[in-house]
């Protein structure tokens, strides 16, 4: 029936000249949030919550990059 198919992660569009993809990680709880940092203002715009390393890999593949910087 195919009700719960795994689909490819949707591609996230961003301007690499103005934004940088990062993962914000909490020092206390270890919670990870993926988002984009505006290079002009330093403002973090969250996109999604990450539950583990597989979610980090999916986030990177949706951006088309191998790895992203982690900020605390």
Indicate the pLDDT class of residue 32, thresholds 50, 70 and 90: very high
The secondary structure element, H or E, covering residue 66 is none
How many Cα atoms occupy the beta-carbon half-sphere of 63 within 13 Å?
A: 22
pTM over 0.85: no
Whether residue 7 has pLDDT greater than 90: no
First-last CA distance in the chain: 43
pLDDT score of 13: 82
């Amino acid at each position: 029936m195919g009700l719960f198919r795994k689909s490819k992660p949707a591609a996230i569009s961003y301007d690499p000249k103005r934004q940088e993809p990062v993962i914000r990680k909490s020092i206390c709880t270890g919670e990870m949030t993926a988002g984009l940092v505006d290079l002009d203002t330093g403002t973090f715009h969250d996109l999604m919550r990450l539950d583990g390393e597989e979610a980090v890999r999916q986030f990177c593949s949706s951006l088309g990059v191998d790895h992203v910087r982690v900020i605390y």
